[in-house]
Amino acid sequence: MNRLAKAAALVVAVAALPYLAFLALYGLLRPEGSPAHKDETVEPTVSIVLPTFNEVDIVETKLDDLIALDYPMEKVELVVVDSSDDETPDLIREYFADREHPELNLIREEERRGLAPALNDAYAAAENEMVVKTDCDSLVAEDALKVAAANLADPDVAAVTGTNAEVLGGSEVEAGYRGVQGHVQTLESHLDSTLIFHGPFSAFENDAIVLVDPNSLADDTELALRIRQNGSRVVFDPEIRYSEASHSDFRKRRLQKDRRGMGLIRLLVQHRDMLGEYGNYGRLVLPFNWWFMVVSPWLLALAVGLATGAAVVATGPFGLAVPAGLGAFVWLGGRDWLGPLQAVYSVFDAQVSLLRASVALLRGDGDGTWEVDQELREVFE
Ligand code: GDP
Ligand code: MN
């Protein structure tokens, strides 16, 4: 083996170590479900917060889904914060015109300011005990409010998120990634608290809510992190199910995944002082996420570079088989043609976004608004 090949192998081994440690911990603890002491008998009042920006094509489907939830609607208010310049707010008003429950509070913004400031306003307006944030381009399982309330009944737990149980549009890349992520978030929750909170369904105790950075690109996760910082646990429950659409195609995935990656990395960096503090959250959960989001994407890129160099040194132009092989892996993965390797590809795909996100952040990109992915909304129409 030449020196470059040894270096590549060393980089891969170093990059893999924390994952092996995490796997060992998983094997040791065998975590299952939510760690919260659930109480299924509680029935708090609920504020559902729905942010909307130009959602005419899908907003009625979303409202149909919300009012079909298995929960007494006289205990529910819907807080919509809307920055549309299309007919979205008119459709919402019409929808509720002769409906008594849930009560509607429609907050109209004069212009699009970005999601985080919009949500800060909606949370301030939410009056009920449990606040559930949901995205317009998602569907929520019927029992989700009940399961969320049962989790929040645990006095230590102040926020709970759920799982993308059915990836709409059938992307196996996304399904594979969510499968891996579900195991990680379950373990994190059993160790203490989880980091990532998901836009389609996140529930918070109203009393625990604080303002998030108006520039945030990871508003749900930021709110959860701040709640953990204030002393409560924030957990993942795989029994809370929602569905959201996703692409498999490599290029199409970048639009949403890169931005989400930027939001998460920036959040970790902003709160780097939490490392090592806050029990297992700062000792294990945050370092693990630092490794996955900030460190290992660079190590992976370095390893690919070194392996290519090593192969070129050893075999001349045939060494380019390394990047060509990687290209083929991406091409097949983006078409969901990798069979059992599809989950591995999903993690690789996430690492690509995180690397691109780091580069974009270093360049100073990333304000609070983004191009909405219209194609992802077609499955809801
Ligand atoms: P993604 O799922 O992370 O790609 O984000 P989306 O583009 O689907 O947006 C998530 C939710 O926020 C959707 O319900 C959007 O309609 C809404 N949204 C996006 N940007 C804004 C905004 O600037 N203001 C408001 N009020 N809502 C927004
Ligand atoms: Mn979305």
Mutation to probe ligand 1, out of 65, 109, 115, 201 (largest number of atoms < 8 A from CB):
115
Tens-digit pLDDT profile for residues 306-335: 999 999 999 999 999 999 999 999 999 999
pLDDT of the residue at 365:
84
Residues 6+ apart with CB under 8 A from 9: 1
Cα angle for residues 350, 351, 355 (degrees, 5° grid): 120
157 vs 202: CA distance, rounded Å: 13
Contact 289, 4 (CB under 8 A): no
Cα angle for residues 286, 290, 292 (degrees, 5° grid): 115
Instruction: Report the nearest atom of ligand 1 relative to the CA of 260.
Output: 3
Rounded to the nearest angstrom, the distance between the alpha carbon of 3 and the centre of ligand 1 is 49
| Ligand sitting nearest the alpha carbon of 263 | 1
pLDDT of the residue at 150:
98
Rounded to the nearest angstrom, the distance between the alpha carbon of 253 and the centre of ligand 1 is 17
185 vs 175: CA distance, rounded Å: 15
Rounded to the nearest angstrom, the distance between the alpha carbon of 137 and the centre of ligand 2 is 5
pLDDT of the residue at 270:
96
pLDDT of the residue at 108:
98
Instruction: Report the nearest atom of ligand 1 relative to the CA of 54.
Output: 16
Contact 244, 134 (CB under 8 A): no
pLDDT of the residue at 366:
76
Please give the model's pTM, rounded to 2 decimal places: 0.96
Mutation to probe ligand 1, out of 222, 372, 373 (largest number of atoms < 8 A from CB):
372
pLDDT of the residue at 379:
86
Rounded to the nearest angstrom, the distance between the alpha carbon of 326 and the centre of ligand 1 is 33
211 vs 168: CA distance, rounded Å: 32
Which whole-number Å values give the CA distances from 371 to 57, 80, 189, 334, in the listed order? Answer: 16, 20, 32, 22
pLDDT one digit per residue (tens) for the chain, 381 residues: 689 999 999 999 999 999 999 999 999 999 999 999 999 999 999 999 999 999 999 999 999 999 999 999 999 999 999 999 999 999 999 999 999 999 999 999 999 999 999 999 999 999 999 999 999 999 999 999 999 999 999 999 999 999 999 998 889 999 999 999 999 999 999 999 999 999 999 999 999 999 999 999 999 999 999 999 999 999 999 999 999 999 999 999 998 999 999 999 999 999 999 999 999 999 999 999 999 999 999 999 999 999 999 999 999 999 999 999 999 999 999 999 998 899 899 999 999 999 999 999 999 887 778 888 888 898 888
370 vs 135: CA distance, rounded Å: 15
Residues with CB under 6 A from ligand 1: 51-53, 55, 81-83, 112, 114-115, 118, 135-137, 199, 256, 260, 369, 372-373
Rounded to the nearest angstrom, the distance between the alpha carbon of 10 and the centre of ligand 2 is 39
pLDDT of the residue at 241:
98
| Ligand sitting nearest the alpha carbon of 88 | 1
Rounded to the nearest angstrom, the distance between the alpha carbon of 131 and the centre of ligand 1 is 18
Omega cis (within 30) before 340: no
Contact 139, 63 (CB under 8 A): no
pLDDT of the residue at 61:
97
